Chain A
């Protein structure tokens, strides 16, 4: 293996994986373990069943945005949906899943998903620029995150058809099983796509993208803790 292959294929991905797992684990443990002393409940506190429903609605439908800002919701919902779909597409393709269900899903995502993702990213950028208050609250970080996503999709689009999925699949599997094979020699676009994916992964636990997990801890450990079921202060 050349130094470049070691760097791209072993050193960087394992560093990023370590950053991702250590960062995410630390954060999740912190969110789960931190003292829960501030009775900062937001009423109405939903019932247990409704909590589950609301959580599913939030994950699948981005409930508050759907309720109050359909314009932003459209872009944000399509973005999140297609992002998850594209991740699934990668999994199907590189794991070599061949059952008809998976093949149909792959084709659908390949035909529609990638363009939806690209369009929704552009939509979100335009929305943030065009709508006054959104422009005011959007900072470099938000544009940077969207730019990374955009570049990921563009490089991904180019790679489609220019990469041997079998070889890439073997490489990715070797990474996961800690027996790394040489990084596929698929040129500059592959390197860019790979670097952007690693960058995204490295950023996720440390920035605002960690809302992926934090929102549930905030709901379950702050907003939905019904202190009212206890008297304000118990008599002793």
Chain B
């Protein structure tokens, strides 16, 4: 393509974060491969004119009040001690692919930073690890930044306090500005922001309500009690917000939460429309989308006039609220908390009673990175789970030091790199699971649940994956007549 054409092509490109349609389709493989897997799909992605929008977004990120301090410092002060290699689930056992090494990945952006922002980089170029951004580098970044699950385990033990995950995140934001967005994100966010149903799975409102009614019938059948999901109850104390995918994939978790609310006599509701879906894929690649999704959510929550927004079993959605709610949402007229905190409060205050004797199989806990390492609620997770089961074993390592499931950072939705998630990213987690000898792994995150189920199937482990509230529901003592509990009738 001639330079003039390239410039014209670039001019057609949107501002950072704006919706865009793919323009130039090119060869089926990226110009730089990093391994035998491939996220790149030529049909959905542009091939040229990406450098300028990428750099513009990078400049914006480097000067953005949110990122300026940490991002610049991370880019400037990595001493290449390699401690992160020993922490990362991709490289701790097998560091043979150098593209997976966290400093090599971060260097993709660091090279560009040095070239544009440092005197030594401008004067000495490659000699000091500085390079001009090229289309080939963008192809490499697209693969590399979507191999990192942004779990932040590397940051936990970095002697310099450097966090490669933020570099990955900003790298993804810049890629997004160059229209390099994984197909899954593109269609899910489009559906959430502009689709008629306003949720990532494009579930129409009627189907959503039908599903909820079906769950109501299920709960009544299981317990003999009139347990219901209240829908759009204005002025309720709490709005329960789960990822909408739970209504398709995780019925037991949802029912567990509903039963918990029922047992505690809570005033709660779920909602249709934007407040039916906790998912915010903007977290993984685009601040503008992140903000838009939060805004439409908060508008819907405000309209319901609830006092508390209760996040369901979802790691990234909870992290989004924790990190960005005040910045993008401003002063909100409601509090934001998690279902784990609510259930723990019910247990502590005696509002609900659990009988751990109803869950006798050996259970282990997978700490979602977004909840334990970034949410600081690993003790709460344990308190709730241990209150509901009688036979518990810790995974090693666990808590804040736990390894990522291998599907974090939104990558669990990428069927294009399923083999990578099973063979590389999930390898460590499969080994951890096997070593526990547990029959059940409790995974309080929709993302982790999917990845763990696929891992268990792929690595032929004798386990099943449940949510914490699946187990809470089984242990819940619902009334004086409830001697055997709902577990007798729940098939799990």
Question: Which of A's residues lie within 8 Å of B, judged by CB?
Answer: 30-31, 34-45, 58, 62-65, 67-69, 72, 76, 131-134, 136-142, 206-208, 210-211, 214-219, 221-223, 226-228, 231-236
- On whether the beta carbons of B374 and A41 are closer than 8 Å, the reply is yes
- Which of A44, A211, A219 makes the CB contact (< 8 A) with B376? A44
* A134 and B82 contacting across the interface, CB-CB below 8 Å: yes
Contact assessment for A42 and B335 in the assembled complex, using a CB-CB cutoff below 8 Å: no
Residues A218 and B160 in contact in the complex (CB < 8 Å), given A69-B83, A136-B98, A140-B128? yes
Chain A: minimal CB distance from B412 (Å) = 22
Q: Does B201 touch A at the CB level, under 8 Å?
A: no
User: Once the chains are docked, how many angstroms separate the CA of A139 from the CA of B74?
Assistant: 17
Smallest CB gap from B102: residue in A:
A137
Are B374 and A34 in contact, CB atoms less than 8 angstroms apart? no
Query: For chains A and B in complex, what number of residue pairs have CB atoms within 8 angstroms?
Result: 180
Given A43-B375, A232-B335, A233-B321, does the pair A68, B157 have CB atoms closer than 8 Å?
yes
Alpha-carbon distance between A64 and B68 when the two chains are bound, in angstroms: 26
Closest to B152 in A: A42
B95 lies within 8 A of chain A by Cβ:
yes
Q: Is the CB of B374 within 8 A of A63?
A: no
Complex CA gap A72/B307 in Å reads 53
Q: How many residues of B are counted as interface, with CB atoms below 8 angstroms from the partner's CB atoms?
A: 69
Q: Let me know if B73 and A214 touch, CB within 8 A.
A: yes
A residues near B162, Cβ cutoff 8 Å: 218
- Structural contact, A76 and B81, CB atoms closer than 8 A: yes
- Stretch of B183-191, B326-334, B383-391, B467-475 that contacts chain A: B326-334
Given A208-B78, A231-B335, A235-B332, A31-B157 contact (CB < 8 Å) = no
CB < 8 Å: which of A36, A76, A131, A138 contacts B69?
Answer: A36
- Nearest to A139 among chain B residues (CB) is B129
Q: Are B326 and A233 in contact (CB under 8 A)?
A: yes
- The answer to whether A207 touches B83 (Cβ under 8 A) is no
Q: Report the minimal beta-carbon distance from B455 to chain A, rounded to whole angstroms.
A: 25
Distance, CA A45 to CA B67, complexed state (A) = 21
* Top-3 shortest CB links A-B: A218-B161, A34-B69, A43-B376
A-B contact list, 18 entries, CB within 8 Å:
A31-B69, A34-B68, A36-B69, A37-B327, A38-B67, A39-B326, A40-B163, A44-B376, A68-B87, A68-B157, A133-B101, A137-B107, A206-B118, A208-B79, A210-B77, A223-B161, A228-B376, A233-B321
Contacts of A207 in B (CB 8 A): 76, 120
Q: How far is the CA of A192 from the CA of B372 in the complex (A)?
A: 53
* Bound-complex Cα distance A129 to B326 (A): 47
Point out the residues of chain B lying under 8 angstroms from A214, CB to CB: 73, 76-77, 160-161
